[in-house]
Amino acid sequence: MKILVAIAFLLILLSLGSALVYLMKDKGRSMRTVKALAFRVGFSVALFILILIAHHYGYIQPTGIRY
C-alpha cells in the first residue's frame, strides 16, 4: 500500500512539474498546461479515493497524532 501511495504522489508531482514546463515554454497560449493540471487533480482525487478504500478494507490503520 505504501508503494501505491508513493507512486501516486510521484505522479502528482510529475504532472505539476510538467504543467510548469508547459506554462513557461508555451507562455500560456496552449492547452497543455490545463491538461497537465487536470491530470494532477485527477491523480489527487484518485489517491484520496484509494486511501479511503484502503482504510475501509483495513489495509491501512490510523496511527493518531503522537506528541
**Would you state the pLDDT for residue 57?**
92
Longest Cα–Cα distance of the chain, Å, equals 49
Give the pLDDT confidence of 52-65 residue by residue, as tens digits: 999 899 888 888 77
Report the alpha-carbon distance of residue 50 to residue 47 in Å, rounded.
Answer: 5
Give the pLDDT confidence of 1-48 residue by residue, as tens digits: 788 888 988 989 999 999 889 888 887 778 888 888 898 999 899 999
**Would you state the pLDDT for residue 13?**
92
Is 15 exposed, middle or buried, given 0-12, 13-18 or 19+ CB atoms closer than 10 A? buried
CB of 9 within 8 A of CB of 47? yes
- For the cut 80, the answer to whether the pLDDT of residue 67 exceeds it is no
54 grid coordinates: 484502503
